[in-house]
Amino acid sequence: MESGLISVDRWTKGSQAYFLTHMHSDHTRGLSGVWSQGPLYCSRITASLFPSRFPNFDLSLLRVVPISSWTSLSLRSPSSGSAVSLHFMAIDAHHCPGSLMFLFRGDFGCFLYTGDFRWDADESDEAKNTLVAAINESPVDILYLDNTYCNPIYSFPSRQVAANLVADIITSHPSHDIIIAVDSLGKEDLLVHVSRILNIKIWVWPERLLTIHLLGFQDIFTTNTTCTRVRAVPRYSFSIQTLEGLNTMCPTIGIMPSGLPWMKRPFKRDDDKLFGSLLTATYETIPRAVHRFHDYMYTVHYSDHSCYEEIGEFIELVKPKSMKGIVVSSSCYVDPLYYFGRICGTSQPPQVLLMRPDPAEQLRAVRIKSYSASDKTLVLEKEKKRKRGDSHSSLMRIKKRARIQVKSAKISEVD
DNA sequence: GCGATCAGCT
DNA sequence: CACAGCTGATCGC
């Protein structure tokens, strides 16, 4: 597809329409309160998070998209100036609140960009039915796939099953305080489930409560530590050390919901020089859905990304002519064609199992996100790449204030 | 002081 | 390793 038309989760200059799959910061890098490159298409929930995430953002740029129905856009070819017609459909990605996949259709063909997604949908799920119907109309030429867990080692249960496991851990510790690690957006359904099963409120830090209220949750969450023993805390403040500290005050266990298999660090020998040698290190992978990682810490395989099996089912459903992974940051990046290329037909090139892309290669791969096909453009865009902005600075003062509030809340709960 | 970027950490 | 972040240092304005 010609460059200069649309970008998905990329915010550099040069596109006529910008698409945001969801409000996680690795997808909004480059967005800021002063960004104004063009119209930005996203879900209603994502749009509602803009004022708090990006103060001063020009909200008139936002275009809330309908779910599961087609929208037409009229763009201009940057090279010829002629009109280009493009249709897109947003589909629920079930990754975090407001997350979407985008299906694009035009003279260039048909692309499906999944963003991050979890395919633990059942047969009656609207996303699945929408996708099946749309693909029957016209097949997908290129699937841009969330390949985070595109490896058979990544096997874990549905979120519903995992949520029950979390509830089981809590009920089996009736007089413990519980802390659950979460990020700034996502896993609300897990917390709601725990709340319903245990008939208990969930403490969250004040800034998180603001987000939760914007998402439309009511009553279940509180910032008052005295009315619950279950607290959701930022993942970055969640560690064995934190738990050991809390246990000097009150018996407390931590629960880490994550799709990553919990790996222990390489065994440290007396000879420290051996540390870091991946060839000689011994790793222990934990395949169980629940693991008592430490006296005070459990890990549960609760994931907002699809497991290997679900990725396979998804590709089988979409049957794309070709596909590309959109996650390139991992050093164990797996080309989805390696495991699932057969679904795409026989004309695929030989595949790479594991590759560690060098930085230049990563840069190239990231360009996939803006559908830049021309090599000339790649070179130009490479230079522009330095101009990336970041949003977190514009929020720093506000966040600093919020942090102080979180800290005082922590202090008061310890005292 | 402010915003942007990067190294370091989990 | 690193799901999706946060923190602190540094640099230019």
Q: What is the pLDDT of residues A8-42, one digit of tens each?
A: 999 988 899 999 999 999 999 999 999 999 999 99
Write out pLDDT tens, residues A226-252: 999 999 999 999 999 999 999 999 999
Cβ of residue A397 lies below 7 Å from strand C: no
Closest nucleotide over all strands to A148 (CA to C1'): C3
- Higher pLDDT: A203 or A281? It is A203
Closest CA to A136 of A110, A118, A113: A110
Cβ of residue A148 lies below 7 Å from strand C: yes
The residues close to strand B, meaning Cβ under 7 A, are A 32, 34, 235-236, 238-239, 386-394, 396-397
Report d(CA A342, CA A340) in Å as an integer.
5
What are the distances in angstroms from CA A291 to CA A32, A287, A382, A383? 39, 9, 44, 46
Report d(CA A249, CA A407) in Å as an integer.
16
The DSSP call for residue A269 is P
| C1' (C2) to CA (A228) span, angstroms | 31
Closest nucleotide over all strands to A26 (CA to C1'): C4
**Where does A55-166 show beta strands of DSSP type E?**
62-64, 70-76, 83-92, 100-106, 109-113, 142-145
Helix (H) / strand (E) element for A376: namely helix A375-384
Q: What Rg do the C-alpha atoms of chain A give, in angstroms?
A: 23
Cβ of residue A186 lies below 7 Å from strand C: yes
Q: Which two tokens stand for residue A205?
A: 């830090």
Cβ of residue A386 lies below 7 Å from strand C: no
Q: Which two tokens stand for residue A42?
A: 């996203």
Nucleotides in B strand less than 7 A from protein CB: 2-5, 9-10
Closest nucleotide over all strands to A186 (CA to C1'): C4
What pTM value is reported for the model?
Answer: 0.81
For the cut 80, the answer to whether the pLDDT of residue A389 exceeds it is no
CA dihedral of residues A23, A29, A30, A33 (deg, nearest 10):
50
For the cut 90, the answer to whether the pLDDT of residue A286 exceeds it is no
In which band, very low, low, confident or very high, does the pLDDT at A152 lie, cut at 50, 70 and 90?
A: confident
pLDDT of residue A121: 81
Which position has the token pair 């987000």?
A211
